[in-house]
Chains A and B, each alone.
Chain A
Amino acid sequence: MTQSAAPLMSEFEAAAVVSGLETIAEDVVLLTLTPAAAGHLPAWTPGAHLDLILDEGDGELVRQYSLCGSPADRDRYQVAVLRAPDSRGGSEAVHRLAEGDRVRIRGPRNHFPLVTSPRYVFVAGGIGITPIIPMIEEADAAGADWELHYGGRTTQSMAFRDLLAKYGDRVRLVPQDQVGLLDLQSVLGTPVPDTLVYCCGPEPLLTAVEQRCQSWPSTALHLERFSPKQRADDADTAFEVVLQRSGLTITVEPGVTVFDAMRGAGVSVLGSCLEGICGTCEQGVLEGEVDHRDSVLDEEEQAANDCMMVCVSRSLGPRLVLDA
């Protein structure tokens, strides 16, 4: 055996059995996953997501889905998946699954945590409702004041309508074919003190909510993206990265990510989506200025300059020092 002091990092990963498969709205299946071997699943909190690793014969597909069950349920995970023919094929593969099939699961991890607050405004668009479901359960149990504005194409396309019915008029369903788009002006037009806004949904909704929340305190808005933010490609330059704990200095060339350069140097760093959306590869920053290119950190967190997603982010200066 090769002896080395470098720890091998990994995320919790296990085989799981599809123990339930239920169509809960048009083109939306609710998948229940139980561990294939005896034992508990790691605990999670609202906003967490899970990797589903699907064997596709010629390779594997890795997709991230928000956990939409209850954190109180320690024996299974639930995710709801919309069939999206235009996407990269993950959702079609999930919709082909049958009860009893095996998949691999990895995580959970959480980059959309529900921060304690006396009041919340939840805004969900379409399948973006999934992380909001456990958030509502949590906010309600904590006795917080909250409301949900949930938009969808049609009533039939909107998942979890039955489950949401028990919350009465805290929940406003906004099917587009009947009442049009979410009225973000009336929901978010005036900042409300001591209130956090949580939003998940398609990119146009996220962008619109970001714009509406510009007059809110900078820490009020929390949102989650499941597709990377669009950005202009700049001409990248090379820079040096010092990995303090590993005692290594590496050079990151243009066209190579910090993540790849670290792996190339034999440093075991975690990574999953490699698009700056899942947050798995986060590394502590000790020195240097980060060129943040991820969709995980908000403006304030990026400005703090104390961590970075090494799969996409780079350096503004010639040198970064990482706690790795």
Chain B
Amino acid sequence: MGIPRHAWYPVAASEGIGRSPIARRLVEVPLVLYRSTTGEPVALEDRCAHRPVRLSDGVLDGDLIRSTYTGFTYDPTGRCVSVPTQEQVPYGAAVRSFPARDDGSFVWVWIGEAGLAALRTPPDTSVLRTDGWTTFGGALDTAAGIGLLYDNFCDITHVVQLDQAIAPPALTTGPPPPLEVEVSETSVRFWRRFDAAPLAPWNAQVLDLPEDAEHEQVEEGEFVGPGYWVDRWTVEVKGHGDHDGQHTLVFSHALTPVSEKRTRHIWRVSRNFAGSAAAEGTLKPLFEAYYARVGEVLEQMQTILDEEGPRPEVAVAADAAVTHVRRIMQRMVAEELGG
């Protein structure tokens, strides 16, 4: 599967980009990222026009970045503004610059046709900055293509197989209720509502509810764009006094497709309940371990694909969301290739 280029991709957490240049890679394009003196994110191709050296090894001088090897200096539009050996700046000397946006949670970069960036919007990440929600997270470099990550997000039934500690008992207490899948040209959303079932011990603990109490639970997943996936797990508590309400965990996944076979995965877990550090102490190790375990399996899948090649897969009814996500990505790639 190819990777669409006409899309906003998250390349770093907002706090990860500052006044020291950092290197990233997006669909094989090496990027150097930094902030201008006014705080705007700058994304340039991370390769000096004079010699094959990384600008990310260079230094900032106000809004400019200078290679510490060649001394070539570039402005935020990528134009070379000075060279150390002559007065005359070589005519047309420049590196590519890319549209970049900071939404307060992630820095997004567009490597497709620059003029089209203004006609598309990065996904809404506001839950990560909304009052009443508490968030923690982490980041992983996974040696697996972005398509494998989406296949994984689209069907969480494997959680039970993968991690007994984190899996909600609702997933195993009976035949799963049918998945409802809602699609549009660019989006796929699915959800299902589980009959009342007990919570996983960690979930009961952070909600301060008895472990054997049963609650209706709702699973949701949403393909928001080629670089962003959101899923949610809501526990609907009734008959427990002050504890009643919709207690939701939102899992946001910012995906940087580094190459066809490598993906940077920044994950965030947000909750609208139990905002204490103690709750985070319970939750964070669980999700760190789970996402690390998922990453290992995905890397293994990529290795098998590399060594043995893809094969037709047996699909099951639960693959409805997978099918639609793959179709959207494939169509984007086909339309960009032209013809």
CB pair A10–B121 under 8 Å, yes or no, is no
Residues of A in contact (CB 8 Å), total 45
Write the chain B residue with the least CB distance to A284.
B323
Given the known A-B contacts A4-B178, A7-B317, A116-B335, are A137 and B119 also in contact in the complex, defined by CB atoms under 8 Å?
Answer: yes
Q: Does B278 contact A (CB under 8 A)?
A: no
Q: Does B277 contact A (CB under 8 A)?
A: no
Write the chain A residue with the least CB distance to B316.
A245
Question: In the bound complex, how far is the Cα of B244 from the Cα of A266, in angstroms?
Answer: 37
CB pair B115–A7 under 8 Å, yes or no, is no
CB pair B184–A11 under 8 Å, yes or no, is yes
- A267 → chain B closest CB, angstroms: 9
Q: Report A-chain residues with C-beta under 8 Å of the C-beta of B180.
A: 7-8, 10
The segment from B71-79, B169-177, B266-274 that touches chain A is B169-177
Question: In the bound complex, how far is the Cα of B174 from the Cα of A44, in angstroms?
Answer: 38
Q: Report A-chain residues with C-beta under 8 Å of the C-beta of B319.
A: 245
- A304 → chain B closest CB, angstroms: 12
- A170 → chain B closest CB, angstroms: 15
The interface residues of chain A, by DSSP majority, are classed as loop
CB pair B331–A113 under 8 Å, yes or no, is yes
CB pair B176–A71 under 8 Å, yes or no, is no
Question: In the bound complex, how far is the Cα of B124 from the Cα of A17, in angstroms?
Answer: 22
CB pair B184–A323 under 8 Å, yes or no, is no
Write the chain B residue with the least CB distance to A67.
B185
- A197 → chain B closest CB, angstroms: 13
CB pair B183–A12 under 8 Å, yes or no, is yes
- A119 → chain B closest CB, angstroms: 11
Which of A10, A45, A71 is the most central at the interface, judged by chain B CB atoms within 10 Å of its CB? Answer: A45
CB pair B185–A108 under 8 Å, yes or no, is yes
The segment from A138-146, A150-158, A227-235 that touches chain B is A138-146
Q: Report B-chain residues with C-beta under 8 Å of the C-beta of A10.
A: 180-183
Q: Report B-chain residues with C-beta under 8 Å of the C-beta of A7.
A: 178-181, 190, 317-318, 320-321
Residue in A1, A40, A71, A142 whose beta carbon sits within 8 Å of that of B124 in the complex: A40
CB pair B317–A42 under 8 Å, yes or no, is no
Residue in B120, B185, B317, B334 whose beta carbon sits within 8 Å of that of A245 in the complex: B317
Q: Does B141 contact A (CB under 8 A)?
A: no
CB pair B182–A11 under 8 Å, yes or no, is yes
- A37 → chain B closest CB, angstroms: 15
Residue in A6, A43, A246, A323 whose beta carbon sits within 8 Å of that of B323 in the complex: A323
Q: Report B-chain residues with C-beta under 8 Å of the C-beta of A284.
A: 323
CB pair B184–A246 under 8 Å, yes or no, is no
CB pair A142–B187 under 8 Å, yes or no, is no
Q: Does A72 contact B (CB under 8 A)?
A: yes
Q: Does A244 contact B (CB under 8 A)?
A: yes
User: Can you list 19 pairs linking A and B with CB atoms under 8 Å apart?
Assistant: A3-B175, A3-B176, A7-B180, A11-B184, A12-B182, A12-B189, A13-B182, A45-B185, A71-B120, A72-B120, A74-B121, A107-B184, A108-B184, A116-B113, A116-B337, A140-B115, A142-B113, A143-B115, A219-B339
